């Protein structure tokens, strides 16, 4: 893949579900009581979201949403990012909009408003730092092809799409529209597989998409194995080769593996003193990776910047970096 | 003061402004640009709150409010607490209500609802861990004598009032009503002076209240000196003697001084590895202090439990404890 340096307006435009996270620390027993599978995301309706919320400890609210987290990471690296997604005309919508604006991310909050509540994600963090999520999409599910800003996509090196979009019919169309437009404009398309359950639900479509519409694929170890229905990680790596231009597969403490055509690079994880909450690890890895590619770095450096951003976000509660990733990167790149 | 052990339903009923905190980390320069005085709280209207918010970094939302923080601390110690204050019918109101319910704090959220927005407090945390606050009261200012739950106050050992209530005419009446009722029922009244500016605004009233209506007074060093318009801390301590039954004055890293009639106890601060955010330090000190008195401990132990709770809350972002204070206390008390 050739990248074009800084001759476009945006490094990345992210399309995804606009969500506010409600984070709380809970013991493992509660997951059992609530019938939740650790480490996964489950979609819930308003009533179920409310009844799960009622069972949780006092929480902390913070802007979230997978693709929006990635946009926030790119901005924190000093990149130019935009976000596309739908919010409600409520306080969570204001919080979501403010937090993007504070990072200089292009987001048309007024145009993005729907009648109804902003989506929320209950993020249950267990003592092992793993997160388990229950998402009530609210008006995030109103995303449709009409929301796709053609001019932004034309001017962004990467159009980044979260797999979760595939769960809603009009959002799926928005996804297809955005990907097609990006390629018409000679831009690149990146996809995150989002979640093992999401892969289960949409395996056939995802396999097809990756072959035809995706240039850079992000997945974790479980997701990539699920995608190809294989047990061995190495087998999955063989399968993803030549399926898309670049695949970046994260493996937690074992770092990441970057597959670029015939080349396979193993990139060690960035050291972390104490893992507090893994929420956002994949999203921030993608941020560092795509920021690096957009700025002309090679795949190995991209994997390292991805690991750097992921290490920062798992060292505290919440899915967005608490410090300037640009500062961390400048220390790292020298 | 005699305390009555566990023969009442509640250890404490707290009356105050129901607020959701919006916390962000900022540099000192921004305080200057926004014309804010570090370490203080300023009341702002909706428009000013919005324009200050627009200048802030991405935030984290968490339930706050001085008296509500104290109630949450008492509950975390294992005490029985209730809260009285007004919320809006909005997402911040839901968050506020949920977080009290999750701690088992009695709060009638349905009865407490007003038309209009829940109050919010922009909490600007600077690198020195000091917090500077801009409060938009929203419907918190609707608090009136009608909201004072006579039965709760009759059954609570302490009625705890925040000085901030004095800023609003009907809340001031609610304050007087609650204090009078507590004394009619043979209960104790505690007051927090809240803020040096608050003391400036209401010095004459506060001096009068403390003489006639307050059994336990909480203040920090600056507030107590401002109250008596003296420069020397020791002079303030002489003045507060016999002005009310007990005064607990916090001095940051120097711990606290408890004045009980002729006795003056200096209580060392509880050690803290790293001070991250002083938001809630005074509120949590009051929680530990009053919980201890309600459970029959002496003033020195009360000062120590206050220091323990304050040390926990300043070690992380946000005004409520992140761990069980009951667990910390049991290690401490043995």
With cut-offs at 50, 70 and 90, classify the pLDDT of residue A89: very high
Assess contact for A182 and A15: CB atoms under 8 A. Answer: no
Residue B1 has a pLDDT of 35
Assess contact for A287 and A293: CB atoms under 8 A. Answer: no
Q: Does B89 touch chain A (CB under 8 A)?
A: no
Q: Reply yes or no on whether the pLDDT at B59 is more than 70.
A: yes
Contact across the interface for A99 and B322, Cβ inside 8 Å: no
With cut-offs at 50, 70 and 90, classify the pLDDT of residue A8: low
Q: Which residue has the higher pLDDT, A159 or A4?
A: A159
Q: How far is B321 from chain A, CA to nearest CA, in Å?
A: 10
Comparing C-alpha atoms, which of B237, B230, B251 is closest to residue B310?
Answer: B251
What are the pLDDT digits (tens) for A256-299? 999 999 999 999 999 999 999 999 999 999 999 999 999 999 99
Q: How far is A269 from chain B, CA to nearest CA, in Å?
A: 27
Assess contact for A13 and A81: CB atoms under 8 A. Answer: yes
Q: Best mutation site among B58, B69, B101, B136 for testing chain A: the one with the most A CBs within 10 Å? A: B58
Angstrom CA distances, A116 to A51, A86, A254, B135, B321, stand at 19, 10, 42, 27, 33
With cut-offs at 50, 70 and 90, classify the pLDDT of residue B298: very high
Q: Does A26 touch chain B (CB under 8 A)?
A: no
Q: Does B53 touch chain A (CB under 8 A)?
A: yes
Q: Reply yes or no on whether the pLDDT at A227 is more than 90.
A: yes
Q: Which residues pair with A256 in a beta bridge?
A: A250, A267
With cut-offs at 50, 70 and 90, classify the pLDDT of residue A2: very low
What are the pLDDT digits (tens) for B194-208? 889 999 999 999 999
Q: Reply yes or no on whether the pLDDT at B327 is more than 60.
A: yes
Residue B6 has a pLDDT of 44
Nearest CA in chain A to B88: A91
Q: Which residues of chain B lie closer than 8 angstroms to A119, CB-CB? A: none
Report chain B's mean pLDDT, rounded to a whole number: 94
**All structural domains of chain B with their residue ranges:** 10-17+65-113+139-333
Residue B332 has a pLDDT of 83
The share of chain A scoring above pLDDT 90, in percent, equals: 93
Distance linking the first and last C-alpha atoms of chain B = 25
Q: How far is B15 from chain A, CA to nearest CA, in Å?
A: 20
Residue A96 has a pLDDT of 98
Q: Does A57 touch chain B (CB under 8 A)?
A: yes
Residue A91 has a pLDDT of 97
Assess contact for A32 and A80: CB atoms under 8 A. Answer: no
| Mean pLDDT, rounded, for B11-16 | 98
What are the pLDDT digits (tens) for A300-310? 999 999 999 99
Contact across the interface for B60 and A57, Cβ inside 8 Å: no
What are the pLDDT digits (tens) for B68-80? 999 999 999 999 9
What are the pLDDT digits (tens) for A110-141? 899 999 999 999 999 999 999 999 999 999 99
| Count of CB atoms situated within 10 Å of the CB of A297 | 17
Report chain A's mean pLDDT, rounded to a whole number: 94
Q: Best mutation site among B46, B50, B60, B71 for testing chain A: the one with the most A CBs within 10 Å? A: B60
Nearest CA in chain B to A25: B322
Q: Is the pTM of this model over 0.90?
A: yes
Q: Which residues of chain A lie closer than 8 angstroms to B53, CB-CB? A: 98
| Mean pLDDT, rounded, for B239-245 | 92
Q: Which residues of chain B lie closer than 8 angstroms to A54, CB-CB? A: 98, 101
The fourth-level CATH superfamily of domain B10-17+65-113+139-333 is Ribokinase (3.40.1190.20)
The share of chain A scoring above pLDDT 70, in percent, equals: 98
Assess contact for B161 and B190: CB atoms under 8 A. Answer: yes
- Cα separation of A245 and A301, whole Å? 17
Contact across the interface for A320 and B53, Cβ inside 8 Å: no
With cut-offs at 50, 70 and 90, classify the pLDDT of residue B8: low
Contact across the interface for B58 and A91, Cβ inside 8 Å: no
Tokens of A22: 């409600």
Q: Does B276 touch chain A (CB under 8 A)?
A: no
CATH of A10-333 among 3.30.420.40, 3.30.300.30, 3.40.1190.20, 3.40.630.30: 3.40.1190.20
């Amino acid at each position: 893949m050739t990248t074009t340096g800084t001759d476009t307006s945006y490094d990345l435009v992210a399309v995804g579900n606009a969500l506010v996270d409600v984070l709380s620390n809970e013991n493992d027993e509660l997951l059992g009581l609530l019938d939740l599978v650790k480490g996964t995301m489950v979609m819930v309706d308003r009533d179920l979201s409310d009844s799960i919320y009622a069972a949780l400890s006092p929480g902390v609210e913070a802007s979230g949403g997978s693709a929006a987290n990635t946009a926030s990471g790119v901005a924190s690296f000093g990149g130019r990012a935009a976000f596309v997604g739908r919010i409600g005309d409520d306080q969570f919508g204001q919080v979501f909009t403010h937090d993007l604006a504070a990072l200089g991310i292009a987001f048309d909050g007024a145009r993005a408003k729907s009648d109804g509540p902003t989506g929320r994600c209950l993020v249950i963090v267990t003592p092992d730092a793993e997160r388990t999520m229950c998402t009530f999409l609210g008006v995030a599910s109103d995303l449709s092809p009409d929301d796709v800003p053609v001019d932004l996509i034309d001017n962004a090196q990467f159009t980044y799409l979260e797999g979760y979009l595939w769960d809603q019919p009009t959002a799926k169309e928005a996804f297809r529209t955005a990907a097609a437009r990006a390629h018409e404009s000679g831009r690149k398309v990146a996809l995150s597989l989002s979640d093992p359950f999401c892969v289960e639900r949409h395996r056939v479509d995802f396999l097809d998409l990756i072959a035809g519409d995706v240039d850079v694929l992000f997945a974790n170890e479980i997701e990539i194995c699920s995608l190809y229905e294989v047990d061995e990680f190495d087998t999955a790596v063989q399968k993803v080769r030549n399926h898309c231009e670049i695949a970046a597969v994260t493996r937690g403490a074992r770092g990441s593996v970057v597959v670029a055509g015939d080349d396979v690079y193993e990139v060690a994880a960035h050291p972390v003193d104490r893992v507090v909450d893994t929420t956002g690890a994949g999203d921030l890895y993608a941020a560092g990776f795509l920021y690096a590619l957009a700025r002309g770095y090679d795949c190995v450096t991209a994997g390292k910047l991805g690991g750097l951003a992921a290490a920062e976000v798992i060292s505290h509660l919440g899915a967005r970096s608490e410090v300037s990733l640009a500062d961390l990167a400048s220390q790292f790149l020298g």
